[in-house]
Structure 1
Amino acid sequence: MPIKIPAGLPARDILDSERIFALEKPEAERQRVRPLKMVILNLMPKKIETETQLLRLISKSPLQVDIDFMKTGTHESTHVSADHLVKFYEPPESFADNYYDGLIVTGAPVEHLPFEEVDYWDEFRRVLDWAASHVFSTMYLCWGAMGALNHRYGVRKIDLPEKVFGVFPQYLQDEYCFLTNGFDEIALQPHSRVAGVSEEDVAANADLQVLTWGPRSGPGLIATRDFSEVFALGHWEYGKYTLAEEYRRDMDRGLDNVPFPTNYFPNDDPSIEPLFSWRAHANLLWRNWLNWVYQMTPYDLTEVPQLRAQRRPGTDHVVRHAPCPPREDGFRPFLDDGYGLIVPRG
């Protein structure tokens, strides 16, 4: 939430430069308040589990948020009851005339496929085109981020030589970014994917900025310069046991070459309770995003198309710091830091 300060306070310029929301008294008195309107495009097979993970993070904000759920019409979900979908979800065409403060697009277990072979790819692109004029800011997760970066900015999806699976360090690239304000210089981020994005394509696009990056996992958080689109390549929304459940699921299926989750089980022993080491940064990212949207979104959502067309969702006093390049000093966390020395009790 913003702080209210006296008009003309010298600290205002410093607070603005550090991306701290401060309202002078006249601004605060003019501010109109309403609940945020959010819609979630849930592409994950286990929809109820994903709903719970996302709503848990959204609920950490003190803001009131109205949530709608969107489903694809060209793909039939098999891991959730039809009754649940009918009761809580609507297809994209039902949202055609609606405006929202935020859209959340989840990942999907299809990153091994070329985009054109995903049965809802065309529908996915239509949703993104709709959001470009009807949503103030969109948060894309994992495959959703890959697909959006490709469709919106031509960033190629890159197949990885091996699955990135586990919890990986991400180096903070811009300490004054609204989204990562308060992050430690190293943030841990869960990953579970067999593809990534071309860092060369991202770097070549002036509209994009890398906010966190890791030596093993690559870019973890990317955003447009105006923050109207945010791309999280990892899974900060994951619960404590999600990676363990994925690992045991694949082992129970008898799959070959099942990767072991990195930096997750103490002593790399799956019989020991895993460490929930990314929760604080997950909560902080989502609170930062919701707070930024709350401060910057128009009270009248019909103004969103004009703001998006102007590529200026924020306010005039926003200061954007260019992110620094990835670390090149060879520093590798977890190499010799004693991680995993937690032993079971008894």
Structure 2
Amino acid sequence: MPINIPKSLPARKILQDEGVFIMDEERAFRQDIRPLNIIILNLMPEKQKTETQLLRLLSNSPLQIQITLLRPKNYSPKTTSMKHLEQFYTTFDHVFKKKYDGMIITGAPVEQLPFEEVTYWTELCEIMSWSKKNVTSTLHICWGAQASLYYHYGINKYDLPQKCSGIYQYKVLTHKEDLVKGFDEEYFSPHSCHTYIKEEDITNNEDLTILSKSEKAGIGLILSKDKKFIFLPYHPEYDLLTLKEEYERDKKRKLHPTIPKNYFPQDNANHRPIFTWKSHGYLLFSNWLNYFVYQITPFKWS
């Protein structure tokens, strides 16, 4: 899929070097089709890395996509320059009158805080409320999924005794939903979380369906009955070395992390990890774009 992103966005060169089809605004304008407008609320601290990871997964489709990058207005991470934020990001007060075909709300390193104590919680609630009528389908990742489940359905998160980090195997519980079309019966995905959602809280809610589950990491994909919201407790967008970087960061902070499960060969951090979740990430995002955005969104928003 051609992704229409600014020429100067750092992710552009990385993706071009990987062979991803990047389109500039001039060429996109000449094509007589309407692109899908996808807005990404990026809550991750290292925003440039997350931009690249998500744009990579959005690239595996014949559809043309126009990306808008969104950030909280009153909070700026220390690991991303203000110049980058001002050049490539917008804030909610500039987009709340617009309509979008799809939205992604990322994870955030705030999961050990009560939701109401997160600096941008009030603004996030406004965005999640707005998404119900102004976005065709919203994909929520990790803490973003927990926050949305709490806001929309009153489902809380719970602390784990220790961080759940590694590559975990998930079993698909039903193949009747389009989101898991083409999935194998089992798949792998990275997990990096200090908290979890109780399975019974989801099964007791008639508006939600669990599509996959892991014996070790718990609930996988969750879909709302109206198919408007998708919740991913894990990180299909992670690069090969993201968990390694997190592990080394936590060691430097003397947080005494356990080595990520099922990640390093022989559990030796000096060994190169093996990429076992790439195909799942591409297929998941492709299914979302096709069946939950493109096939449903109106050609003209009214």
TM over 0.5: yes
Three-state SS of the structure 2 residue aligned to 1:277 is coil
Task: Return the index of the structure with the highest Cα Rg.
Answer: 1
- Could you list the per-position Cα deviations for residues 26-62 of structure 1 after superposition, in whole angstroms to 9, with x for gaps in the alignment? xxxxxx9521000000000000000000000001222
Three-state SS of the structure 1 residue aligned to 2:295 is helix
Residue in structure 2 matched with residue 236 of structure 1 by the alignment: 236
- Give the conservation status (yes or no) of the 8 Å contact 1:101–1:301: no
Return the offset for 1:254: 2.7
Residue in structure 1 matched with residue 283 of structure 2 by the alignment: 284
Gaps of 5+ in 1: 2-31, 303-346
Which ranges of 4 or more aligned residues in structure 1 deviate by more than 6 Å? none
Distance 2:33 2:295 in 1: 10
Matches within 5 A, 1:1-346: 34-256=34-256, 258-292=257-291, 293-302=293-302
Three-state SS of the structure 1 residue aligned to 2:221 is strand
Number of matched pairs = 271
Return the offset for 1:196: 1.0
- Could you list the per-position Cα deviations for residues 223-260 of structure 1 after superposition, in whole angstroms to 9, with x for gaps in the alignment? 1012110000000010111001111111223333x111
Distance 1:194 1:252 in 2: 18
Three-state SS of the structure 1 residue aligned to 2:57 is helix
Distance 1:64 1:297 in 2: 14
Distance 1:249 1:77 in 2: 17
Residue in structure 2 matched with residue 314 of structure 1 by the alignment: none
Distance 2:118 2:99 in 1: 27
Three-state SS of the structure 2 residue aligned to 1:296 is coil
| 1:109 partner letter | P
Identical pairs, percent: 44
Distance 1:71 1:220 in 2: 26
Distance 2:42 2:76 in 1: 12
Distance 2:219 2:95 in 1: 32
Distance 2:282 2:226 in 1: 22
- Give the conservation status (yes or no) of the 8 Å contact 2:45–2:78: yes
Aligned-residue CA RMSD (Å): 1.3
* TM-score of the two chains, using structure 2 as the length reference: 0.87
Residue in structure 2 matched with residue 9 of structure 1 by the alignment: none
- Could you list the per-position Cα deviations for residues 174-232 of structure 1 after superposition, in whole angstroms to 9, with x for gaps in the alignment? 11211111111111111000101122211111110001111111111101012110000
Distance 2:76 2:252 in 1: 25
- Give the conservation status (yes or no) of the 8 Å contact 1:33–1:299: no
Distance 1:255 1:146 in 2: 23
Distance 1:116 1:254 in 2: 28
| 1:222 partner letter | I
| 1:283 partner letter | Y
Distance 1:117 1:198 in 2: 21
- Give the conservation status (yes or no) of the 8 Å contact 1:173–1:210: yes
- Give the conservation status (yes or no) of the 8 Å contact 1:141–1:232: yes
Distance 2:124 2:275 in 1: 32
Return the offset for 1:96: 1.1
Distance 1:151 1:252 in 2: 34
Distance 1:195 1:301 in 2: 38
Three-state SS of the structure 2 residue aligned to 1:301 is coil
- Give the conservation status (yes or no) of the 8 Å contact 2:76–2:82: no
Three-state SS of the structure 1 residue aligned to 2:123 is helix
